[in-house]
Amino acid sequence: MLKAVERNRVNVTGGIFRERMELNCRYLMELDTTALLQNFYVEVGIILPGLQTVYDPANANLHWDWEAPVCQLRGHFLGHWLSAASRLVASEHDEELQIKLNKIVSELARCQN
């Protein structure tokens, strides 16, 4: 019979699941903080240095597709990023990811204010 186990009592110590977890953490860290926040900045009128006019979108350090400023789903991806980062910080106590997470939450508060 299966029994629920609290998350804080489980550690992923090796194998494919650990590899995937580490890969996911590296991916979260490699995404640029400004690009993750780009649409929130645009909505509140915070000018991104050097990006007042984007002449070459392919080479601008921004996220496009669903995160393009004209897309109705813009900002949605950051919610997924926050959930994934929060879970990894809670389970792995990754200090570098915690710093990035805190920075993003702080910037969201700045935009909200």
Q: What is the mean pLDDT of residues 96-112?
A: 97
Q: How many domains does the chain have?
A: 1
Contacting residues for 66 by C-beta, under 8 A, at least 6 apart: 73, 74, 76, 77
Task: Note whether 12 and 18 are within 8 A (CB).
Answer: yes
Going by pLDDT thresholds of 50, 70 and 90, the confidence category of residue 57 is low
Tens of pLDDT along 60-89?
A: 777 777 777 777 778 889 999 999 999 999
Range of the domain at 81: 34-46+58-113
